[in-house]
Amino acid sequence: MTAELTPGTSARTVRPGWTEIVVGIAVMAVVGIGLPLVLPDSFDLTGPAGGAFLACLSGVAGTIAFVAAAAVRRRPWGEFGVRRTTPGWIWIGVAGGAVALLAKGALVPLFMWLFDVPTDTQAGYAEGASGGLGFLVVTAIGLAVLTPIGEELLFRGVVTTGLLRYGPVIATVGSAVIFALLHGINVVLPAALVVGLITAELRRRSGSVWPGVVVHAFNNSVTVIAYALAPEIAA
C-alpha cells in the first residue's frame, strides 16, 4: 500500500487507519461515558463539583483515548499532527474560532426551531461554571484547556488523519460528523459539526492539530463565560 503523506511525514510512513480510529473512539466512550455511570450514587454529577468534574473528564478521556490509539502501532506522535506549527496558523485558528462562534449563533437557534431535541445536555457544565470561583476555575481549565487538547488529539489527530486516505472531503466531513454525533443528538450537534469541519480542515492544511485546538479553546472559553454569567442558558 502506498502511503499518503502529510507535512513532516516520511516516505515510509503508513497513515494511521481504522484500527487506531476504532480503538480511540472505544476508549473515549469507556472513559468519558462509562466512568460516570459506575460512580457511586453519593457523587453528585449535577452540582458544581460534578459539573467541574465532567468538564475535566471530557478532556482527560480524549487524551487517554489518543494515547491508546497512538500506542496501537507505536508510531511517532508527529504522524498524528502533534507537531509544532507557525504563528500564522495560530492566528488562523483564532479567526476560525470566531467564524465557528458566529455560525453557532445562527445554526443552533435554527436547529432548535426545526427539531425537538434536548437542550439541557450541558447543564452540568453551567453548574460548575456558576458554582463559585474555585469551581469556575476548574471548569474553565476542563472546558477551555483540557477538552480542546484531548478532543483535538483524538478527533483530528486520529480520526481526520486516518480518514485522509480516502481524500480531503471524506476526511474533513467524515471526522466532523463523527465528532458531532458523539456529542449526541441534541442542541450541541450543529455547533459541534461546525467546529469539527473547521478544525479538521485546519488539521489537513496545516499538518498540525494545534490550530484546531485554538479554534476549540476559543469557542469553549466563550461557553464558559456564558455559563458563568447566565447558567440558565444551559438549563
What DSSP letter does each residue of the chain carry, written as one string? -PPP--TT--TT-----HHHHHHHHHHHHIIIIIHHHHS-TTS-TTSHHHHHHHHHHHHHHHHHHHHHHHTTTT--GGGGT-S---HHHHHHHHHHHHHHHHHHHHHHHHHHHH------TTHHHHHHHTS-HHHHHHHHHIIIIIHHHHHIIIIIIIIIHHHGGG-HHHHHHHHHHHHHHTT-SSTTHHHHHHHHHHHHHHHHHHS-SHHHHHHHHHHHHHHHHHHHH-GGGG-
State the Cα–Cα distance between residues 179 and 196, nearest whole angstrom.
Answer: 6
Percent over 70 (pLDDT), the chain? 93
Q: Is 84 exposed, middle or buried (0-12, 13-18, 19+ CB in 10 A)?
A: exposed
Q: Which residues contact 50 (CB under 8 A, 6 or more apart)?
A: 43, 44, 124, 127, 128
Q: Looking at residue 235, what is its pLDDT?
A: 54
pLDDT of 29-87, one tens digit each? 999 999 998 888 777 788 899 999 999 999 999 999 999 999 998 889 999 999 999 99
pLDDT band of 1, cuts 50, 70, 90 = very low
The chain-wide mean pLDDT, for the chain, equals 91
Rounded to two decimals, the pTM is 0.91
Q: Looking at residue 91, what is its pLDDT?
A: 98
**Would the pLDDT of 160 be above 60?**
yes
